[in-house]
């Protein structure tokens, strides 16, 4: 390794050409998939006022308390690189009065996020998510459509070892009653809880359900279950969501402990995990957030969405097919003399403008190594400009698969390939 090279920051990664084709494919499949449901893309700025996340994500959450990249701008304003996308999307929805366009606004995104987490496999400090937000409907069919679209998209990628976990955390009031019961249940075990769980017991007790510590999991086995605290309306909503998912043949498992970390969720919460990922097994998370629009200054508006992590999907996909395909070219233009370079460049450009993928050597390599390169790129044809060809304004086309070759007028090259 060279001395003094500048390395990427811990928790960030380069996406190199042998992977980027997979990223492009994922992005374009998601766009095609979700546009068929009527979602339109939204792109929001990379940084926002810190206040947006404090209000929109919740001051007691891990993201806001310890994971944000926040700095004071020159004018003293506190700014933050976006650690999640729902709050920025809702901010943009309110600010640009998207509600005026349609009572149900369906938005999707594909974006970069920043969280100062401890880097490990599947957990980075800059990472990518795609996701959707459906803003405007309180009804279970909207929940079912959002949950089903997440599951169908991921399973359509060929990720078969998926589990869709589903829960309802009810409305604010049901959750308050549940929190009180959970605190009452956990208080006698307080001294056996980790320092973090003890803190959560007073700040946000449902977060304790996320614990990975085995003796805490054991204690929680007899804990009250949130479903028993749901109001009749919450229960009916949840039952209808499940019924619609059953109708769509979407397999799910009920998970009473799935509460998600962010304050603004209510009713439906869900997560899709993959067995192949190991520790960081969540590929996608989502849920309903009926209070967020109002919390951020808009009119009370129900909403639901999901976000999926691109890096984790790539890890899961790479378990199947490790390498992206190489660049493949249609035609490799071989120039044998310095004098043929100019003509070669003109021909290559004409072909590219007609939609062909064309490569031409710019290292002044020998004909033999240009041919080797053409083979490596799996070029379907080579177009050879030798001395004779140049003199007679011709070009020799060789079909690489069969070895057949034919010399034609340079001016007829487009019509030759467009046949």
Residue 75 burial (CB < 10 Å; 0-12/13-18/19+)?
exposed
Choices 117-125, 222-230, 297-305, 323-331 (CB under 6 A): range interacting with ligand AMP: 117-125
Interface residue with ligand AMP among 82, 106, 115, 267 (CB under 6 A) is 115
Q: Which of residues 244-303 bind ligand AMP (CB under 6 A)?
A: 282-285
- Closest residue to ligand AMP in the complex (CB): 309
Q: Which of residues 11-40 bind ligand AMP (CB under 6 A)?
A: none
Interface residue with ligand AMP among 27, 117, 294, 330 (CB under 6 A) is 117
What angle (nearest 5°) sits at the alpha carbon of residue 152, between those of residues 146 and 153?
90
What's the Cα-to-Cα distance from 180 to each of 129, 175, 384, rounded to whole Å? 34, 9, 79
Q: What is the full DSSP assignment across 327-356?
A: P--SEEEEE-STTHHHHHHHHHHHHHHTT-
Q: Which of residues 336-395 bind ligand AMP (CB under 6 A)?
A: none
Instruction: Output the smallest distance, CB 282 to ligand AMP, in A.
Output: 4
Segment (H or E) for 107: strand 105-114
Instruction: Output the smallest distance, CB 227 to ligand AMP, in A.
Output: 22
First to last CA, the chain: 51
Q: How many CB atoms lie within 10 A of CB 147?
A: 28
CA distance 353 to 62: 51
Name 200's Cβ contacts closer than 8 Å, sequence gap at least 6.
Answer: 207, 208
| 319 vs 330, beta carbon nearer ligand AMP | 319
Q: Which of residues 202-231 bind ligand AMP (CB under 6 A)?
A: none
Choices 115-123, 150-158, 182-190, 212-220 (CB under 6 A): range interacting with ligand AMP: 115-123
| 127 vs 417, beta carbon nearer ligand AMP | 127
Residue 169 within binding range of ligand AMP, rule CB under 6 A: no
Choices 16-24, 214-222, 305-313, 351-359 (CB under 6 A): range interacting with ligand AMP: 305-313
Taking alpha carbons only, the member of 275, 262, 277, 241 closest to residue 307 is 262
| 186 vs 303, beta carbon nearer ligand AMP | 303
State the Cα torsion 213-216-221-222 to the nearest 10°: -170
Interface residue with ligand AMP among 80, 105, 129, 171 (CB under 6 A) is 129
Residue 311 within binding range of ligand AMP, rule CB under 6 A: yes
| 240 vs 281, beta carbon nearer ligand AMP | 281
Interface residue with ligand AMP among 136, 170, 309, 344 (CB under 6 A) is 309
**Mask of contacts with ligand AMP, 73-112, x by CB under 6 A?**
-----------x----------------------------
- Return phi, psi of residue 263, to 5°: -65, -25
Residue 307 within binding range of ligand AMP, rule CB under 6 A: yes
Instruction: Output the smallest distance, CB 124 to ligand AMP, in A.
Output: 4
Query: Quick one: how far is CA 336 from the chain centroid?
Result: 46
Rg (CA), the chain: 28
Asked if residue 179 lies in contact with residue 229, where contact means CB atoms within 8 angstroms, the answer is no
Segment (H or E) for 88: helix 86-95
Instruction: Output the smallest distance, CB 207 to ligand AMP, in A.
Output: 13
| 61 vs 343, beta carbon nearer ligand AMP | 61
Site residues (CB under 6 A) for ligand AMP?
84, 115, 117, 122-124, 127, 129, 282-285, 307-309, 311-312
């Amino acid at each position: 390794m060279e001395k003094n090279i500048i390395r990427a920051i811990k928790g960030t990664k380069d996406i190199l050409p042998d992977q980027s084709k997979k990223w492009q494919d994922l992005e374009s499949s998601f766009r095609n998939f979700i546009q068929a449901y009527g979602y339109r893309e939204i792109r929001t700025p990379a940084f926002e006022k810190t206040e947006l996340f404090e209000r929109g994500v919740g001051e007691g959450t891990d993201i806001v308390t310890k994971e944000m990249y926040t700095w004071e701008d020159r004018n003293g304003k506190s700014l933050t690189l976006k650690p999640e996308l729902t709050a920025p999307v809702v901010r943009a929805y309110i600010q640009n009065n998207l509600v005026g366009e349609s009572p149900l606004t369906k938005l999707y995104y594909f974006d970069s996020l920043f969280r100062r987490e401890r880097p490990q496999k599947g957990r980075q400090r800059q990472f990518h998510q795609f996701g959707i937000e459906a803003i405007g409907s309180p009804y279970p069919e909207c929940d079912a459509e959002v949950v089903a679209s997440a599951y169908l998209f991921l399973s359509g990628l060929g990720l078969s070892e998926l589990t869709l976990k589903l829960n309802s955390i009810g409305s604010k009031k049901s959750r308050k009653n549940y929190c009180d019961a959970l605190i009452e249940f956990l208080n006698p075990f307080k001294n056996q809880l980790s320092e973090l769980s003890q803190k959560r017991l007073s700040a946000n007790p449902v977060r304790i359900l996320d614990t990975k510590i085995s003796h805490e999991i054991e204690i929680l086995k007899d804990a009250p279950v949130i479903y028993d605290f749901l109001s009749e309306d919450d229960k009916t909503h949840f039952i209808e969501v499940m019924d619609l998912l059953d109708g769509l043949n979407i397999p799910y498992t009920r998970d009473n402990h799935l509460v998600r970390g962010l304050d603004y969720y209510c009713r439906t919460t869900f997560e899709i995990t993959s067995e192949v990922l190991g520790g960081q097994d969540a590929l996608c998370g989502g849920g309903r957030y009926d209070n967020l629009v109002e919390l951020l200054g808009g009119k009370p508006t129900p909403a639901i969405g999901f976000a999926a992590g691109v890096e984790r999907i790539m890890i899961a996909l790479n378990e199947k097919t490790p390498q992206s395909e190489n660049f493949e070219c249609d035609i490799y233009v071989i120039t044998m003399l310095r004098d043929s370079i100019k003509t070669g460049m003109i021909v290559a450009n004409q072909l590219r403008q007609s939609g062909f993928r064309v490569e031409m050597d710019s290292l002044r390599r020998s004909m033999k190594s240009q041919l080797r390169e053409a083979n490596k790129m799996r070029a379907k044809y080579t177009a050879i400009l030798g001395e004779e060809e140049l003199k007679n304004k011709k070009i020799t086309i060789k079909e690489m698969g069969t070895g057949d070759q034919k010399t034609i007028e340079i001016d007829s090259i487009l019509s030759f390939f467009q046949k």
